Amino acid sequence: MTVSSEPIFQQVRGTSASLETVVDALKAAIVAADVWVLHEINPQTLLRQANIEIGPARQLLFFHPRYMKRLLDADPAAVLEVPLKFAVLTEDTGIALRWFDPVRAFERYRNRELKALGAELSLLCDQIVASALETAS
């Protein structure tokens, strides 16, 4: 499925499944990957409070303390890069699932440990998304 722009620092996948189906599948895939769902944000509800209407959208924040320990040991300044987040958005062509690529986020620190962590987290995100989209379809 075609989705809007794909900046080089993001990953994006499209699906024809419903937003709620994708969100539920993502939460299950995150938990199955032994990672914690930290928070779910509903931008549609928040913006409605300001009399702004948008289509259905959700953001899922996720991470795990074992990754935080490694990140802090490598470079505490990188704490601003976490938790990781998936955005599930309604676009003209269907549902788009977007996330920042941890490889891109951590490579700018020029730190070997963070580079390895970024690669590991990038693979983790890819696996979570693949599992969720398989379940959702």
What is the pLDDT averaged over residues 80-101?
94
What share of the chain has pLDDT > 70, as a percent?
95
Give the whole-angstrom CA distance, residue 79 versus residue 43: 24
Is residue 39 within 8 A of residue 58, CB to CB? The reply is: no
Q: Output the pTM of the full model.
A: 0.91
The residue among 132 and 3 whose pLDDT is bigger is: 132
Q: What is the pLDDT of residues 23-68, one digit of tens each?
A: 999 999 999 999 999 999 999 888 888 999 988 999 999 999 999 9
Radius of gyration of the chain (CA): 15
Q: pLDDT tier at 6 (50, 70, 90 boundaries)?
A: low
The tokens of 124 are what?
A: 């983790």
Domains of the chain from N-terminus onward: 10-136 (3.30.310.70)
Phi-psi region at 42: left, alpha or beta (left = phi > 0; alpha = psi -120 to 50): beta
